[in-house]
Amino acid sequence: MTEKALNPFAIAQQQLDDAAQRLGLDPATHELLRWPMKEYKVLLPVRMDDGTTRVFHGFRIPYNTARGPAKGGLRWHPDETIDTVRALAAWMTWKTAVVDIPLGGGKGGIVCNPKELSETEKERLARAYMRALGSTFSVTRDVPAPDVYTTPQIMAWMMDEYETMRGEHHPGVITGKPIALGGSQGRGDATARGGIYVTREAAKAHGIDLENKTMAIQGFGNAGQFAALLGNEILGLKLVAASDSRGGVYDPGGITPKALIDHKLKTGGVKGFPNATAIDNEALLELDVTLLFPSALENVITRENAGNIKCKILCELANGPTTPAADEILYKNKVVVLPDFLANAGGVTVSYFEQVQNTYNYYWELWEVHKRLDEKMTAAFKAVYEMHKAEGINMRQAAYLVAVARVAEACRLRGWT
């Protein structure tokens, strides 16, 4: 089997096994953390605009709830599988633990191609999903959020369906909502902003100057676009390359992030951006840039291309972009890897802030969200960096040790193990 064909859940388990061994976890705790505690699989018959009915497959996996209610996004993607959802749910468990918010981890999704669905079909699909799984969701049990190809509008439809089922307001049942319906200030760019704060700390720790240095972004979607904007605004980085599912563009002289976002809005992709040359995803990853942000999907940096990665800092906004074999090569080559569940934890952190505000029914100003997010991300980076230094292990292994130890402790204190 080539490494690319590796199942993301097998990778997530392999990473956990490594942490369990280093921590000396007892066999019962290790087994408990290797698997989701629950899994839901649902069929969703949906009436299409042409009058036919299509049956979609949906999943929800609350992976571990020892530290609090499950939390994690909903991905709508044609390649969604139960094992992708399991892996993402496991990573959510480690992510909420590494930023030390009182939540567990979960993930869900629907096998579909949203690009082929009309707005009304998407609404019926969102409502069908909530009808099928609504009884498992609540602010005290499991709280979904957006992920790849799901939006604040989709969250709003799901919240409305849930509240209709319950006959009362429950905005905290789902996060990533539009602000007018109880969304938090600062949720839109939170994932990228958290990654930028962590990058700032990593650059300080490693003595890397970022001002006027270059960045490349694979996956110019929600996380990727805000990384371009904030990387420029907060860290002074210059965007030189970006890609999406339709292709990539490269301009060593620099690309204005806002202009590229406008171009994508107009044309549907980054391709054809004026004065830039075309670049494929493989070449983009191997560019000689200071910062690389993989911000699309899993397993793009593997044993085959890891040796060619030239960036100084690799900030994983995507979940699972680097395979374990690639990790070892990057570590040897002294690439500073900011592992996914640390680097992209800003999204779930502000989702948690959203839940808190919904529960209090009192809302914070944008500056408060940014300040609290910065504090959480900086503290998480420091905990992981100290572990990395103390144990002489790479940053992903260090992040696992910090997170898994916290989840294992909660399981033990509950008397589960």
Q: What is the number of the residue whose Cβ is closest to ligand NAD?
A: 221
CB of 249 to ligand NAD, least distance (A): 12
- The residue (of 87 and 393) whose beta carbon lies closer to ligand NAD is 87
Spatial contact of 198 and 315, defined as CB atoms under 8 Å apart? yes
Q: Give the closest residue to 212 by CA, choosing from 228, 229, 233, 236.
A: 236
- The residue (of 25 and 158) whose beta carbon lies closer to ligand NAD is 158
CA separation (Å) from 243 to 139, 151, 247, 277? 36, 20, 5, 12
- The residue (of 20 and 157) whose beta carbon lies closer to ligand NAD is 157
Which segments within 206-298 are labelled E, that is strand? 214-218, 238-244, 247-250, 277-279, 291-294
Q: Which of 4, 41, 71, 107 is catalytic?
A: 107
DSSP letters along 131-142, please?
A: HHHGGG-BTTTE
- The residue (of 179 and 208) whose beta carbon lies closer to ligand NAD is 179
CB of 227 to ligand NAD, least distance (A): 9
CB of 349 to ligand NAD, least distance (A): 10
CB of 186 to ligand NAD, least distance (A): 12
- The residue (of 157 and 341) whose beta carbon lies closer to ligand NAD is 341
Q: Report residue 51 CA to chain centroid gap.
A: 36
Q: Which two tokens stand for residue 238?
A: 């210059």
Catalytic site includes residue 382:
no
Pairing of strands 277-279, 247-250: antiparallel
- Contact positions toward ligand NAD, by CB under 6 A? 146-149, 191, 218-224, 243-245, 281, 295-297, 317-319, 344, 347
Which segments within 259-352 are labelled E, that is strand? 277-279, 291-294, 313-315, 336-338
Angle, vertex CA 49, rays to CA 266 and CA 41, nearest 5:
95
CB of 47 to ligand NAD, least distance (A): 25
Helix (H) or strand (E) holding 227: helix 222-235
| Residue for token pair 């392999």 | 14
Catalytic residues: 107
